[in-house]
Structure 1
């Protein structure tokens, strides 16, 4: 059994570029294979993230947070804004043994970048 989060986005290319530039996401599936794309699966490390092209109100508050483990949170943070996202604050060491930074993707979806320390 596996869980695949799927993000609805009004700009599939922009969302894919963000996750590729910041987290090294690689496209592993697109549907349909030819013509305008409706769905993509991106591979990020050992996990997968789905993107669906759909007009959606990105001003509504998100109800889910993606948490993505990275090797070095502080090295990834400068990539976020360069890729169209927003950094919500500096990375912090948490008492449970992770360094965490809170960012937003270009559609405003919250993403926690985490690093085991």
Structure 2
């Protein structure tokens, strides 16, 4: 079995962890090391995992090349909460022709996050 786990390197692990916990309900499952300054935290989000690595020298001004796409139950509801959780909303949500409602946000480090929700088939 092959799986992929995104890992985000951040200069402020506590801030970024709080964002994903507050906005998406992430739950910490592993912290390394268990005592002393934390290097790595593994978060569980539904059936997925997201790793956070604490690295003080991370350059947040470097161009982003990875997009984190997260399927959620209510894009519009989370979009309203993103700013209060520490993120930045980049615009309104949009219904896409491939059958998803999508909203674009930045997490507190400026990483691009797409919130996606399947559109319901209209009865007709």
TM-score by length of 2: 0.93
Matches within 5 A, 1:67-78: 67-78=69-80
Corresponding residue of 1:57: 59
Q: Which runs of 5+ in 2 are unaligned?
A: 120-124
| Cα separation, 2, equivalents of 1:14 and 1:78 | 19
| Cα separation, 1, equivalents of 2:111 and 2:30 | 22
Max radius of gyration: which structure? 2
- Give 3-state SS (helix, strand or coil) of 1:56's partner: coil
Q: Which runs of 5+ in 1 are unaligned?
A: none
Root mean square deviation, CA, Å: 0.6
Deviation at 1:34, TM superposition (A): 1.1
CA deviation digits over 1:72-95, x for unaligned, max 9?
100001211101110000000000
Deviation at 1:99, TM superposition (A): 0.1
Aligned length: 117
TM-score by length of 1: 0.98
Deviation at 1:59, TM superposition (A): 1.1
Deviation at 1:28, TM superposition (A): 0.4
CA deviation digits over 1:40-77, x for unaligned, max 9?
00001110000000121101111000000000100001
| Cα separation, 2, equivalents of 1:45 and 1:30 | 18
